[in-house]
Structure 1
Amino acid sequence: MDPVTTFALIGVLGIGSQWLAWRFQLPAIVLMLLAGVLAGPLTGLIDPEASFGFLLKPIIAVAVAVILFEGGLTLNFKSLRDAGPSVLRLVMIGAPVGWLLSAISVHYIAGLSWETAIVFGGIMIVTGPTVVTPLLRQARMEPRVARILKWEAIVNDPIGALAAVLAYEMVVALRTSTTVGGAIWHMVLGIVVASVLGYLGGRVIAWAFNRGKVPEYMKVPVMFGALLAIYAASDYILHESGLLAVTIMGVVLANTHLPSLDEIRRFKEHATVILVSGVFILLAASLTMAELASIDLRIVLFVAIVIFIARPLTVLLSLMGSGLPWTEKSMIAWIGPRGVVLVAVSGLFGTQLAELGIEDGRSLTTLSFALVAGTVVLHGFSIGPLARRLKLTSEAVPGLLIVGGSRWAVNLARALEKAEIPTMIVDRNWFRLRAAREAGVKVYHGEILSETVEHTLDLSAYGVVLAATDNDGYNALVCTDLGPEFGRRQVFQVGRCDETEGRAALPVTIGGRAFGSGMPYEDFMRLEAAGWAFRVTRLTEEFGLDDYLALNEDARILGRINDSGLLFYDGKPPEKIPAGTRILAFHHKDKDRGSGSS
């Protein structure tokens, strides 16, 4: 198969697996593994070596460089300090302990050399945020445990890759130098060269962006170009130091407070999803039937030792004396799924170790696939039942986050609270939160768009966002910013006042879905002042939607509540709503018939 067709097929399989995983709530990594093995060793549809030849290694190397750079962009030192003492323990104590225990397991259980074991042990620090987050959402985990597991995965992602790069540099130094002194010098030189280039690259980009030397539309292309340049320059000066350089460059940029860093990071995340999918399919398709057949009892035992001994021991040692209940420690000790970064970095370093003459380095790809499959399947199927048994699940349905503390927003929050839907009102003006505080509604005083909110406000209890301020542009910005986290279908804003103003109107490509059939903020205020109110009413077999509307002709049906939570309608409500559903309506209190919270 020609390279272009192979690229296209890899893209279809990778992105298709991600979409199917989202559609059917399955771990994407398992579907990508099945797709790669099916297209590669089982059917021979994809043969990366034949299609790309000598370009295969550079393709994977550049993709891994971008992945590690994006991981470095997530390592904000302030975030690390704010993550809490438990996360700091898992990083400061857990990462070295996990590295040591993993390396011992690789050497004595899997039977690989110490050189390979040290490199792979560093990579195994990574627990995979792209795998952990869906599992936590699926299990509806208690907020504190979910926060610790999420932050451990985010912080350890770049740290694990960094550890693997340093371990590899040490192995290269020992293999290419004739004396111990020469080996130490080679390793130190590699770290210094990569660190200097990565630091300078990050600082120069930060300076150029902050001084307006690069226009907004060119920031991402310039960053990509600088990333490739730093990687190539570092590799040219000292072979295989480029990965360390780009990781450091990402860390430097993450801590320079660039105004446009969030947008850049989001674009990089999208690029990383594409690259990770492609690399995963490439590596899975590169497996041979012999390598698949080599997954014997020894590898199965290695996976079991990592899951049942190394991970729990690492976590329990790290959290000793932390004050966490044993149930939470047990859950954190059990959940440690590995992700695509482990496979991508292992595949690259495995090939490079083999080129250094360490033949068992080729086993890293097989070993990483076995570990990923084992952890994802075991943890994926057990997290829900175990969380329920340990009483660590959140029983509350996903709630509503309202941005804007108007009177009618407070009334909406009170109606939903009576219907047992958790609601919080966020506003940056303390005075505007007065009515909400007096009504007993949960409030947060702060700027929802600020980076501080990410670390101080737990959003896991909320599934829907409503931007309800008197500023259309701000509402659109809130929905655009929170859309990737909550899902585009779950962010709403009050109707825009400028929809008929032609060129002055906001672009329809930004913002959220229309709340209340697009009714503007001013109309809600006017109707609320005229005596309108929000009501939640349960429909029954005897009292259906038609009966309700016949008694409440002026009612505006805004959404419905069922066992899965709250859903707003962004247009006219459906003509048929099942019995047992509770509807959320806005209508005049004096004309309230057949309604009430239930």
Structure 2
Amino acid sequence: MLIFFLGVLSQWIAWRLQLPAIVLMSISGLLVGPIFGIISPAERFGELFSPIISLAVAIILFEGSLNLNFKEVKNFSKPLWRIATWGAFIAWIAGSLAAHYMAGLSLAVSFVIGGLFIVTGPTVILPMLRQAKLKPRPAAILKWEGIVVDPFGALLALFAFQFVLFAMGEESASAFGLFFLASLFSVLLGIVAGWGMGRMFEKGQVPEFLKSPMVFAVVLLVFAVSDTVMPQTGLLAVTSMGIMMANMNITSINEMRHFKENISVLLISSIFVMLTASLSLDILIGIFNPRIIAFVLAMLFIVRPLSIWLSTIGTDLSFQEKLLVGWIAPRGIVALTVSGYFAATLMDAGFEDAELLTALTFALVFSTVVAHGFSIGWLGRKLGLVSSVEPGILIVGSSRFTVKLGKMLHDMNKNVLIVDSAWGRLRLAREEGVPNFNGEILSEHTEYEKDLTPYETMIVASENDSYNSLVTSNFVPKLGRTHLFQTAIHIGNPKDFHASLSGKTLFGPEWNIQALEEKAEEGYAMRKTQLTEQFTYEKFREKSVEGTIPLFIERAQGKIEFFTAENGAEPKTGDTIVSFSPPAHQEIRTQEKLETSRIKSGIQS
């Protein structure tokens, strides 16, 4: 209970304080584990501890690979391929040399552990990317590298171990053949399982309520079968299965992604608490060994940058992208769990210095998680690789009203974009100079063609109520219901649309898109009114022309808050109210201008 609670609590606190969640999870595990001795998961779970961790990692890796659609990297497959192959090889050799000369490990142990340390797994990189909001290209490179290289790190360490035993004369050449056959088997097993599940889903042979549970069970089965044939190959199998399903255009893939993402968040939170809580004080003290510190510094500032810069020579990656990718390489759960396996195996084989592996690995994991978790957002902004410092507003549906709304937001220097599938309906937006995009917001091609990462708020205001509800329900997992707005239902009974299918109702239940369009045709215009101590919100309401519709508030800090039917915003002194006002008589306009000038003159005096 405590593990689950601390994991989710760490995620929530990290979200509230905008801190790296991985860091808080690790700290909470250390506090309840080795520091205060409240729990010791390794002792409590006993023999189940390692299998639980391994199965959880398999689910997390599969969830990450479900997002690996090849369309995402079609424009930069060359640098990604270089990083995942030559970059991994360079990191292996350089990391092995660092472990030998810096940490003082034997060449054999360094050769094995150097292969493992090429991983930058999804358990740490995905939460970081979710928080940093990088531009699509560097974010995709880091995500793909983390997921694809993750299983190969364990396989590379296993290959190095087999090679060491062969060099010592304790293993025959046939062991290499078995190793490669087992690796091939795991890839084929994952591909066949993924293809089979996808075909069953598309043919309607699995009901909707069983799809996610069945995938969950098959992932565990594929992992267990592959790992039984050859240890540490299960991760490769589930990654192959996920990539296969991600590229089959399965209609229910989004529902599976949402289910797996929820499971992964819970598992990542819990596993980091379990692993850090299971460490001993001796291991914590051991990480302050000067040799270990020197090794960590070499991995951070020499091995990783060197592998990225050498492997991406001749690619179209910019200097800023190379610098960011060359710095960000957090290690996570796979490194911790697999290093424990190899520490015991190497010690059984007579390599006594392998007892340092656990402390060495934890030092690298914790250092990279802290250093990269706190720096990824800052460095991304400094290098111009963050999508937008200020969250943007995405408007779905182009009309007279939405163009007027977009124009006002654009003139207020807000990041706004109007999206519509009809080129003709965007004509007015183009004429007014409002940023716009011609495409279907529900199409996956839109996500690849247009960077939607900067837009944290969405307004859905098409003429089709059902379409509006479909769009809002589709984007709930990505944006959250508090950032989704739609115009009021104007056809049929609003009660026919369940609350779970709709966003917040903009402006009020009577202001549907047709009503707003009629007002726009009557000459209604957008107007800004700044509130002062003399001209309060109450006076604004008294002076407003009859029929004025308050739309949103710009807070003194620049944040936008929309008026909704669910809860009215509370304007304060210093805020600016934007309203949709009828064409007032010239005398009223002149009077308001004179009154505003008088108030300002009084303030200045």
Q: Return the TM-score normalized by structure 1.
A: 0.88
> 1:293, CA displacement in angstroms?
0.6
Match of 1:147 among 113, 136, 141: 136
Give the aligned partner of residue 518 of structure 2.
Answer: 526
Q: Kindly indicate whether residue 427 of structure 2 is the aligned counterpart of residue 434 of structure 1.
A: yes
Give the aligned partner of residue 62 of structure 2.
Answer: 69
Encode CA deviations 1:231-261: one digit per residue, 9 max, x unaligned.
2222334444322222211121112111111
> 1:347, CA displacement in angstroms?
2.6
Rounded to whole Å, the distance in 1 between the matches of 2:384 and 2:234 is: 46
Rounded to whole Å, the distance in 2 between the matches of 1:547 and 1:28 is: 45
Give the aligned partner of residue 510 of structure 1.
Answer: 501
Rounded to whole Å, the distance in 1 between the matches of 2:190 and 2:164 is: 25
Match of 2:118 among 105, 119, 122: 122
Encode CA deviations 1:199-233: one digit per residue, 9 max, x unaligned.
11111101101111001111001101111222222
Give the aligned partner of residue 150 of structure 2.
Answer: 161
> 1:41, CA displacement in angstroms?
0.8
Distance change (3 Å), C-alpha of 1:125 and 1:509:
closer
Give the aligned partner of residue 600 of structure 2.
Answer: none
SS of corresponding position for 2:525:
strand
Distance change (3 Å), C-alpha of 1:370 and 1:473:
farther
Q: Kindly indicate whether residue 560 of structure 2 is the aligned counterpart of residue 566 of structure 1.
A: yes
Match of 1:133 among 114, 126, 129: 129
Give the aligned partner of residue 3 of structure 1.
Answer: none
Identity between Structure 1 and Structure 2 (%): 35
Rounded to whole Å, the distance in 2 between the matches of 1:352 and 1:406 is: 61
Match of 1:203 among 195, 201, 204: 195
Match of 1:9 among 2, 6, 19: 2
> 1:496, CA displacement in angstroms?
2.4
Distance change (3 Å), C-alpha of 1:299 and 1:453:
farther
Match of 1:589 among 579, 583, 587: 583
Conserved 8 A contact 2:123-2:332:
no
* Structural mapping, 1:319-334, within 5 Å: 319-322=312-315, 326-327=319-320, 329-334=322-327
* Structural mapping, 1:327-366, within 5 Å: 327=320, 329-334=322-327, 336-338=328-330, 342-358=331-347, 363-366=356-359
* Structure 1 range deviating more: 147-156 or 254-263: 147-156
**Paired AA for residue 344 in structure 1:** I
Match of 2:440 among 427, 435, 447: 447
Conserved 8 A contact 1:109-1:298:
yes
Rounded to whole Å, the distance in 2 between the matches of 1:118 and 1:575 is: 56
Encode CA deviations 1:258-277: one digit per residue, 9 max, x unaligned.
11112211211111111111
SS of corresponding position for 2:487:
strand
Encode CA deviations 1:111-157: one digit per residue, 9 max, x unaligned.
341343233223247794334325534xxx6xxxx333311221012
Rounded to whole Å, the distance in 2 between the matches of 1:538 and 1:549 is: 13
Q: Return the TM-score normalized by structure 2.
A: 0.87
Rounded to whole Å, the distance in 2 between the matches of 1:370 and 1:28 is: 18
Conserved 8 A contact 2:563-2:569:
no
Rounded to whole Å, the distance in 2 between the matches of 1:235 and 1:384 is: 37
Give the aligned partner of residue 399 of structure 1.
Answer: 392
Encode CA deviations 1:186-211: one digit per residue, 9 max, x unaligned.
21121122122111111110110111
Q: Kindly indicate whether residue 303 of structure 2 is the aligned counterpart of residue 310 of structure 1.
A: yes
Q: Which has the larger radius of gyration?
A: 2
Match of 2:262 among 246, 261, 270: 270
Rounded to whole Å, the distance in 1 between the matches of 2:267 and 2:273 is: 10
Rounded to whole Å, the distance in 2 between the matches of 1:564 and 1:104 is: 52
> 1:386, CA displacement in angstroms?
5.3
SS of corresponding position for 2:440:
coil
> 1:23, CA displacement in angstroms?
1.1
Unaligned runs of 5+ in 1: 1-7
Distance change (3 Å), C-alpha of 1:105 and 1:485:
farther
Distance change (3 Å), C-alpha of 1:198 and 1:461:
closer
Give the aligned partner of residue 452 of structure 2.
Answer: 459
**Paired AA for residue 116 in structure 2:** F
Conserved 8 A contact 2:116-2:157:
no
**Paired AA for residue 507 in structure 1:** H
SS of corresponding position for 1:473:
helix
Match of 1:474 among 467, 471, 486: 467
Unaligned runs of 5+ in 2: 597-605
SS of corresponding position for 2:506:
strand
Match of 1:81 among 51, 74, 77: 74
> In the comparison of the two structures, how many residue pairs are matched?
576
Distance change (3 Å), C-alpha of 1:237 and 1:422:
closer
Rounded to whole Å, the distance in 1 between the matches of 2:303 and 2:520 is: 60
Match of 1:30 among 23, 37, 47: 23
Rounded to whole Å, the distance in 2 between the matches of 1:436 and 1:575 is: 28
Rounded to whole Å, the distance in 2 between the matches of 1:522 and 1:22 is: 38
Q: Kindly indicate whether residue 487 of structure 2 is the aligned counterpart of residue 487 of structure 1.
A: no
Rounded to whole Å, the distance in 2 between the matches of 1:572 and 1:48 is: 45
SS of corresponding position for 1:416:
helix
Conserved 8 A contact 1:416-1:536:
no
Match of 2:90 among 65, 77, 97: 97
